[in-house]
């Protein structure tokens, strides 16, 4: 197993934090003694997301009645409308596979920072911090491989850093999560347009989606207001996201007018609606803002699958008239990137209102 070499595996997040703090007039950026917080953030209530047993959908329907499948589909659609987030069990992604993914993630992130940042690993997909941040509160205290599945599928020649087990596990996890995401997307689409069909969403296949391997290192520093982010508040620019988080917790989402913390449930996967599904559903399904909070002492891992179409795919709508003009996924991504670069924040769907 690759080992830490004098802290060489860690991305220079603290350097970025202190540089941003000085830029904002926050002094010389001396570290907090013993990881103490400069202030205490307001407590956030913990919630349990709607839990849906999707075994009747993922097992091929064997032994399940039509009434059971209809009730399951209705529960999924209701959660997408009311929460934008829900949890699933009996989802068809083996717990042994997810455990193997967690072990391989740990090995991957223990590689030296230089190897991760400049080695072209996993399709040159390594990310850390936030290169567009202009203040400490815009810094994401995390590192990730945002892997295009086109780079790791088949004979793409992807560099896995010599971690051959990582290659096999990554492909297997991507395949299992892809199957689940496709099933759930079709259920949600058919709830609004029964003729949506087996090909929904159009333009999505194993080469257009992404698998993101996340690590949130312990964060011993904090902005003056006491809040710091492993991942800054955002919505997802996809149709659906399937997330496996570990036991540490830290995920929060906006519910009503406030933030709620998501309680980790062993064995469950979290599913959330993305911007593209909100647009396609004419705002029936909700793409909800969410964030990850830092932990002062414990690292956190997660893996997320993003159901995305090809860049030239028009998003469309379940029915007309739509509140949004026609746009492609590529156009949406470019606009998000332009907004973040120009303003430091994502604007998203409001850019595409009629």
Structure confidence at residue 215 (pLDDT): 98
Structure confidence at residue 21 (pLDDT): 86
Mean pLDDT throughout 121-135? 90
Residue 297 near residue 218, CB atoms below 8 Å? yes
Structure confidence at residue 225 (pLDDT): 56
Reported as half-sphere exposure (CB side, CA atoms, 13 A), residue 154 has a value of: 5
Residue 39 pLDDT > 50, yes or no? no
CATH entry 3.10.20.30 includes domain 49-351 = no
Mean pLDDT throughout 86-111? 96
Backbone angles phi, psi at 297, to 5 degrees: -125, -20
Structure confidence at residue 6 (pLDDT): 37
pTM, entire model: 0.92
Span 153-176, pLDDT tens digits: 766 678 887 888 999 999 999 999
Residues 54-71 as b/e (b if ≥16 CB within 10 A, e otherwise) read: bbbbbeeeeeeeeeeeee
Residue 246 near residue 102, CB atoms below 8 Å? yes
Mean pLDDT throughout 106-118? 93
Q: In the chain, at which residue ranges do the beta strands (DSSP E only) sit? A: 46-47, 51-53, 85-89, 126-128, 143-148, 210-216, 229-234, 240-245, 251-255, 258-262, 269-273, 290-293, 300-307
Structure confidence at residue 118 (pLDDT): 85
* pLDDT band, very low/low/confident/very high, at 30 (cuts 50, 70, 90): very low
Any idea what DSSP says for residue 219? -
Structure confidence at residue 1 (pLDDT): 35
Span 134-152, pLDDT tens digits: 888 889 999 999 999 988 8
């Amino acid at each position: 197993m690759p080992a830490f070499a004098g802290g060489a595996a860690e991305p220079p997040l603290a350097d970025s934090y202190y540089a941003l703090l000085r830029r904002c007039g926050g002094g010389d950026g001396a570290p907090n003694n013993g990881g103490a917080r400069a202030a205490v953030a307001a407590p956030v209530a913990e919630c349990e997301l709607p839990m849906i047993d999707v075994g009747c959908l993922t097992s091929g329907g064997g032994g399940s009645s039509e009434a059971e499948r209809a009730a399951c589909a209705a529960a999924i659609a209701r959660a997408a409308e009311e929460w934008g987030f829900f949890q699933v069990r009996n989802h068809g992604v083996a717990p042994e596979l997810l455990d193997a993914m967690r072990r391989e993630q740990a090995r991957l992130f223990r590689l030296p920072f230089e190897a991760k940042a400049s080695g072209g690993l996993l399709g040159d997909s390594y990310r850390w911090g936030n290169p567009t941040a202009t203040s400490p509160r815009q810094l994401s205290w995390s590192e990730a491989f945002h892997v295009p599945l086109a780079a790791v599928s088949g004979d793409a020649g992807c560099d896995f850093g010599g971690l051959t087990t990582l290659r096999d596990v990554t492909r297997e996890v991507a395949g299992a999560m892809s199957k689940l995401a496709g099933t759930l997307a079709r259920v949600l689409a058919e709830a609004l347009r029964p003729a949506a069909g087996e090909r929904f969403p159009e333009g999505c296949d194993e080469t257009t989606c992404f698998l993101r391997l996340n690590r949130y290192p312990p964060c011993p520093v904090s902005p003056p207001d006491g809040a710091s982010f492993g991942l800054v508040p955002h919505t997802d620019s996809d149709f659906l996201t399937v997330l496996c988080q570990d036991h540490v917790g830290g995920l929060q989402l906006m519910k009503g007018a406030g933030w709620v913390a998501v309680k980790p449930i062993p064995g469950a996967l979290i599913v959330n609606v993305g911007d593209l599904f909100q647009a396609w559903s004419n705002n029936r399904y909700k793409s909800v803002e969410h964030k990850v909070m830092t932990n002062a002492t414990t690292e956190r891992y997660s893996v997320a699958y993003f159901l995305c179409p090809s860049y030239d795919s028009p998003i469309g709508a379940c029915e007309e008239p739509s509140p949004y003009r026609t746009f492609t996924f590529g156009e949406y991504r470019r606009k998000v990137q332009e907004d973040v670069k120009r303003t430091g924040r994502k604007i998203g769907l409001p850019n595409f209102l009629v």
